[in-house]
Structure 1
Amino acid sequence: MSTDLFCEIVAGERPAFMVFSDDVAAGFLDTRPVFKGHVLVVPRVHVETLADLPAAGVGPFFARVQATARAVEEGLAAGGTFVAMNNRISQSVAHLHVHVVPRQKKDGLRGFFWPRTKYAGDAEAESFAERIRKSWNSPSD
């Protein structure tokens, strides 16, 4: 089994601002968010790309992505979300992950230029994670 940053977060070996964690996937705040509340959803099983995820796991995994998008919108009063994934090219960690980014009209995000921001500190990051966590509902597979 391969070990990477996301495997370590899923295993609880590395700290992260968790939004949810279950037997299928985990969601946590990106440490370099496009906008505050930017969540990464990763499968528990180590796979590098979407093509590597077993077919039986695709539906349950994307049910978690869908639940996360819903929770980001509700928990942060976002106007919408940007949901994206890279496979190999521009994939900063070689572990499948989906970006769920809160959006508002006229927020300045254009095309595929992803400016990054920072949280003021751990307390602010945890407050964003908590707001999303409170709105996250486990999908019924």
Structure 2
Amino acid sequence: MGFFDSLDGNLDDLLGNLNYLKKKIVTESQEIKKAARLRYELLNEERKLSEAFEKLGKHQYHALKGEGSNLNVSETLQEIERLESRISSLKMGLDLSEKTSGINFAEDNASQDAYESSSIFVRDEEDTSHEEDQGSIIFIEEDEDENR
């Protein structure tokens, strides 16, 4: 019966580790989604800024040629200032988002030589809520029957 008690304890540990990893993956995917949304907004604002500068440049070109232009220059300059402020804000938000992401996923290839197994090494340097789980390595041994 000691074998089954040990097996039950190992399965409980594995279940706890898998639940912890699931929560971390959900959190990280939400952070990645937020960063992607910020990057998308940043690209859109930079495109709008480029278009505003293009309008201003065309206006200047037509003015130098002596041709008329119906561009409201002060309004375009205000738009450029607004876009530059928005871009700066988005960049700060993106930098903050990237700095607060604390998990680095890396493969632990050293264990591959010793065991026929798959492993994931989870390094979480900022989150101290699960200190006992830091640096945990989960080994999933490959069963001979699975390869058939």
TM over 0.5: no
Q: Which has the higher contact order (CA 8 A, sep 6+)?
A: 1
Q: Per residue, is there more strand in 1 or in 2?
A: 1
Higher Cα radius of gyration: 2
More helix by share: 2
The TM-score, its normalising length taken from structure 2, stands at 0.22
